[in-house]
């Protein structure tokens, strides 16, 4: 039978279930990836499982998010991560080595493998022909313990690419076009599989830009074939022996197909405050710009920054603009330095930041009040930059350079002739910033005073009752639930403290009210929990006593995180009932047996409405056990 590329890889890794859309499946995981923002908690969870060593082919721990060491807490966490990596057989990437997705693509990604990462942009590796999926840290810890990763089998949407990009149109514009068509929830429970004659015109870094930001459609993952272009990239990294040709069958059937003619793609830009608020750059030209940030896991490859260097060469950044550059890895920075292109960037007036995530998650470079910031990142949620009043736009490196030079949003085609970018046949590779585990580990895992034990949670009771603590609208993100930024993220290993920041910018009284009232309910709209994989956005509300979230629909990763920590995720059977529920209403429902169809009584209004608990039997068992950690710990104790 003719199959898609995704189906071929999933078939090879299927541990449980049937490969039919909507069915629960379990996947065997080859690689895992954590980063310091989510990894500290993930390794605390892994330690609690009692497994002596990771069971994957390869597990990696990166420090790339929270490298601002303004007190002892981040440094302590980095030391803890290095120790547990050595103890349990995990490769450790030291602070400053670069961004997890960029480094994994360069040094470890392999066609046909599976990757599970505690970061929502893990699908970056789909540019290398991997099934790469973002998940909560507890799911990644379970995979390190040898457990399958469970998910609903996605449908597979084909994205047919034809033609070739015109000068100054880029891979970033391709994914912005896809987002314009699909929206931030149009890819939910789908894999976006790219095929067609246009694929061969895109380099691996360009493909990775597209798969990285496919996350913003809500897609489970995105994937490109592994072809001669892939082989060329691997050869440049000294890894040609790891190449494997992989493609969909010629007559593969997709659930649906959209077609993008690359030749018709023009420079695009996402306006505040959503990645799918996409317009042509030419439609918003002339908007004054205060800040330009180039980097992030979306656009920080050697190809991206060679383009930036060529466009900046011999020019000066506008005096109105602060331009920052953060390369995705030390490898990128070293190659730019060796070629002399880094000098072109510096002489233009750019500020060179550390190799890491930085401004993308509000760690440094917060814009001034009411600033317009053009960023080559993947998200522009309100306040994510660290400044609540900032207007953040998402664009390609080419469009970002144009804004930096002219001091306003400008169509990059006005810069002049597009430079010819030539990537080296063999890049400079230097892996000394990795620490490869030695066996046996004879040291002691050191824990700073900010690293607190995990809270213990009991199984879901038979009856839930409480107040509606908060009612939200559509597309509430994990940044809304638990903000990023240096202040909050330094508390990621301290649940009691980080919980004080839940819904901080939505309702500053939420945490205190939740504790005072003994917990309660949250009511949400469509796509509740979109955005990052941070499981703290479920664990911290659970610590505050949140018993259930009732929403019109959930984002995939956040739904899984709610189940993992024992918060009951319910959906309105009739979405019109959402309008009749208000903050402060008293709700109660019987969840004995965790039946699919349940009735919620609204005591404040004397009415009732129906909700659905749309979970598999396995997920219900996790709730009954008190969450995934308790269930896995019990399993390994039996063995």
Active site residues: 64-65, 119, 379, 532, 534
Round to whole Å and give the CA distance between 371 and 382: 12
**Beta-strand relationship, 91-93 and 58-62:** parallel
Distance of CA 239 to the CA centre of its chain: 26
Please provide residue 620's backbone torsions phi and psi, each rounded to the nearest 5 degrees.
-65, -35
Report how far residue 1's alpha carbon sits from residue 19's, in angstroms, rounded to the nearest whole number. 13
Half-sphere exposure of 235 (CA within 13 A, CB side): 9
Alpha helices in 198-301 (DSSP H): 204-213, 228-236
| Residue 116, both tokens | 């599970």
Please give the Cα distance from 204 to 201 (Å, whole number): 10
**From CA 571, how far away is CA 253, in angstroms rounded?**
31
**β partners of residue 121:** none
Two tokens, residue 51:
């497994």
Closest CA to 36 of 10, 68, 63, 12: 63
Strands (E), 335-377: 351-352, 372-375
Length of the chain: 639
In order of 348, 524, 558, 623, the CA distances from 549 in angstroms are: 50, 7, 11, 14
CA dist 435 and 472 (Å) reads 44
**CA–CA distance from 77 to each of 126, 329, 626 (Å)?**
30, 21, 27
Residue indicated by tokens 């379970």:
142
CB 202 within 8 A of CB 299: no
Interatomic CA distance for residues 613 and 548, integer angstroms? 11
If one counts every other C-beta atom within 10 angstroms of the C-beta of residue 464, the result is: 20
> How far apart, in Å, are the Cα atoms of 344 and each of 319, 352, 464?
17, 12, 62
Instruction: State whether residue 34 is helix, strand or coil.
Output: strand
Reported as type and span, the H/E element at residue 136 is none
Strand-strand pairing, 24-27 and 31-35: unpaired
Provide φ and ψ at 279, rounded to 5°: -135, 165
State residue 470 phi and psi, 5-degree precision.
-160, 140
The most distant pair of C-alpha atoms in the chain lies apart, rounded to whole Å, by 72
* Nearest alpha carbon to residue 490 among 451, 541, 538: 451
- DSSP code of 358? G
Structure tokens at 39: 């990894």
| Tokens read off for 562 | 């709610």
The CA-atom distances, in angstroms, between 285 and each of 168, 271, 280 are 15, 12, 9
Backbone φ and ψ for 452, nearest 5 degrees, come out as -105, 155
Residue with structure tokens 């000066």?
A: 316
How many angstroms separate the CA atoms of 565 and 581, rounded? 25
Tokens (6 digits) for 28: 């065997």
């Amino acid at each position: 039978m003719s199959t898609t590329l995704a189906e071929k890889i999933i078939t090879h890794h299927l541990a449980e279930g049937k490969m039919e859309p909507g069915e629960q499946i379990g996947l065997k995981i080859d690689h895992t990836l954590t980063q310091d923002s989510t990894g500290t908690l993930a390794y605390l969870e892994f330690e609690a499982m009692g497994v002596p060593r990771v069971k994957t082919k390869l597990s990696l721990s990166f420090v790339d998010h929270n490298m601002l060491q303004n007190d002892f807490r981040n440094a302590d966490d980095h030391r803890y991560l290095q120790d547990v990596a050595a103890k349990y057989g995990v490769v450790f990437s030291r602070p400053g080595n670069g961004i997890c997705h960029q480094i994994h693509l360069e040094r470890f990604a392999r066609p046909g493998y599976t990757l599970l990462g505690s970061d929502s942009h893990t699908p970056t590796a789909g540019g290398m022909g991997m099934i790469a999926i973002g998940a909560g840290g507890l799911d990644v810890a379970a995979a390190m313990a040898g457990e399958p990763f469970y998910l609903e089998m996605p449908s597979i949407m084909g994205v047919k690419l034809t033609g070739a990009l015109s000068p100054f149109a880029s891979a970033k514009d391709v994914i912005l076009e896809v987002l314009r068509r699909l929206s931030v929830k149009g890819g939910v429970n789908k894999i976006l599989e790219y095929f067609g004659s246009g694929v061969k015109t895109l380099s691996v870094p360009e493909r990775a830009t597209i798969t990285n930001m496919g996350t913003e459609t809500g897609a489970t993952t995105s994937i490109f074939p592994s072809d001669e272009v892939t082989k060329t990239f691997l050869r440049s990294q000294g890894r040609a022996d790891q190449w494997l040709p992989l493609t969909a069958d010629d007559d593969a059937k997709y659930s649906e197909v959209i077609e993008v003619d690359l030749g018709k793609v023009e420079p695009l830009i996402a306006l505040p405050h959503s990645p799918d608020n996409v317009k042509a750059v030419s439609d918003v030209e002339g908007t004054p710009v205060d800040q330009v940030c180039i980097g992030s896991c979306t656009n920080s490859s050697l190809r991206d920054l060679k383009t930036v260097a060529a466009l900046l060469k011999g020019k000066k950044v506008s005096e109105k603009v602060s331009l920052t550059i953060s390369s995705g890895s030390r490898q990128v920075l070293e190659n730019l330095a060796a070629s002399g292109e880094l000098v072109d960037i510096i002489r233009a007036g750019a500020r060179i930041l550390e190799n890491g995530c930085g401004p993308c998650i509000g760690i440094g470079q917060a814009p001034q009040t009411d600033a317009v910031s053009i960023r080559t990142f993947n998200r522009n949620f309100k306040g994510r930059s660290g400044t609540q009043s900032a207007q953040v736009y998402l664009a390609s490196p080419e469009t970002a350079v144009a804004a930096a030079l002219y001091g306003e949003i400008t169509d990059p085609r006005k810069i002049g002739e597009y430079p010819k970018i030539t990537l080296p046949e063999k890049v400079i590779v230097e892996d000394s910033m990795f620490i490869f585990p030695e066996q046996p580990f004879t040291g002691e895992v050191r824990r700073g005073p900010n690293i607190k034990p995990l809270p213990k949670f009991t199984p879901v009771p038979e009856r839930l009752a409480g107040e509606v603590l908060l009612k939200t609208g559509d597309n509430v993100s994990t940044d809304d639930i638990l903000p990023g930024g240096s202040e909050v993220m330094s508390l990621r290993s301290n649940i009691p403290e980080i919980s004080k920041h839940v819904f901080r910018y939505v309702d500053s009284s939420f945490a205190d009210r939740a504790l005072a009232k003994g917990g309660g309910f949250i009511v949400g709209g469509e796509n509740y929990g979109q955005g990052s994989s941070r499981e703290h956005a479920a664990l911290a509300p659970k610590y505050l006593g949140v018993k259930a979230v009732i929403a019109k629909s959930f984002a995939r990763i956040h739904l899984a995180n709610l189940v993992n920590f024992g918060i009951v995720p319910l959906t309105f059977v009739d979405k019109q009932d959402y309008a009749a529920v208000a903050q402060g209403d008293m709700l109660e429902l019987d969840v004995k047996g965790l039946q699919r169809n349940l009735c919620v009584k609204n005591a404040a209004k004397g009415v009732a409405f129906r909700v659905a608990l749309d979970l598999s039997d396995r997920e219900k068992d996790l709730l009954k056990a008190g969450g995934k950690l308790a269930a896995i710990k019990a399993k390994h104790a039996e063995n």
